[in-house]
């Protein structure tokens, strides 16, 4: 395995809400926690695992999106809600070989809902401005102190319909007029919303 692919695979443990799609197109939230060689262990929703034989994980390292396909070799009971999935790597590749995710300037209003934020109560909503957007990341400004690691949902309008994504702040800096400028990695997005983002970035590009 090439160095970049090995580093991308090694970045999976510790992530939460990684987009995972089964061989039948079912989407499940995946929380990888351990990598042993080419075997990944991850928490998956136990009651949604019926019929799952393969999982394709989509994630990003920096601005480079990756796709990794795994065979489900074992599922262990963890709790009523979660199972521990033992996943054997089949293949991993850059998603869109050799190109960074296209990023487009937006400057559109959005609503941020706090999920796990140091200075915000879970469920609180804040008006923010989305400054730019790609398939894998988003930059926004907000009148709230934020720090790297904060997790939140964003809802905004694209192509005349509402788009909702979940993201995790990678960096947060204080900008002009007391607003924080936050760069975040998208951790969860529906296929339909991802297509809308992809179309928007392609049109702008």
Chain centre to alpha carbon of residue 57: 10
Query: What is the residue-averaged pLDDT of the chain?
Result: 87
**Residue at token pair 């926690």:** 33
Residue 169: pLDDT above 60? Answer: yes
Residue 9: pLDDT above 90? Answer: yes
Rounded to a whole number of angstroms, the distance between the first and last alpha carbons of the chain is: 32
Give 106's pLDDT tier (boundaries 50, 70, 90): confident
Give 154's pLDDT tier (boundaries 50, 70, 90): very high
Give the domains, in start order, of the chain with CATH numbers.
3-94 (2.30.110.10), 104-204 (2.40.10.220)
47-58 pLDDT, tens digit each: 988 888 999 998
User: CB–CB of 40/87 below 8 Å?
Assistant: yes
User: CB–CB of 122/116 below 8 Å?
Assistant: yes
How many CB atoms are located within 10 Å of the residue 153 CB?
17
pLDDT at 117: 95
User: CB–CB of 68/115 below 8 Å?
Assistant: no
User: CB–CB of 61/11 below 8 Å?
Assistant: yes
User: CB–CB of 128/92 below 8 Å?
Assistant: no
Give 97's pLDDT tier (boundaries 50, 70, 90): very low
Which residue, among 110, 152, 149, has the nearest Cα to 128 in the 3D structure? 110
**Residue at token pair 């915000």:** 120
Give 21's pLDDT tier (boundaries 50, 70, 90): confident
User: CB–CB of 177/139 below 8 Å?
Assistant: no
pLDDT at 204: 60
Which tokens go with 184? 């975040």
CA distance 188 to 82: 18
**Helix extents (H) in the chain:** 3-10, 191-204
């Amino acid at each position: 395995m090439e160095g970049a692919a090995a580093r991308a695979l090694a970045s999976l443990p510790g992530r939460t809400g990684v987009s995972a799609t089964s061989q039948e197109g079912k989407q499940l939230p995946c929380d990888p926690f351990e990598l042993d060689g080419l075997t990944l262990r991850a928490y998956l929703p136990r009651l949604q695992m019926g019929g799952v034989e393969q999982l394709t994980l989509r994630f990003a390292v920096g601005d480079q999106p990756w796709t990794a396909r795994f065979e489900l070799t074992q599922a262990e009971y963890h709790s009523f809600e979660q199972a521990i999935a033992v996943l054997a790597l089949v293949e991993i590749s850059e998603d869109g070989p050799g190109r960074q995710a296209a990023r487009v300037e937006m400057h559109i209003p959005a609503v941020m809902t706090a999920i796990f934020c140091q200075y915000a109560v879970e469920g609180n909503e804040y008006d923010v401005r989305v400054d730019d957007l790609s398939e894998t990341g988003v930059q926004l400004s907000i009148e709230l102190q934020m720090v790297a690691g904060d997790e939140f949902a964003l809802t905004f309008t694209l192509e005349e319909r509402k788009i909702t994504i979940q993201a995790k702040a990678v960096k947060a800096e204080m900008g002009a007029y007391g607003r924080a400028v936050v760069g975040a990695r998208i951790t969860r997005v529906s296929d339909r919303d991802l297509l809308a983002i992809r179309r928007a970035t392609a049109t702008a590009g």
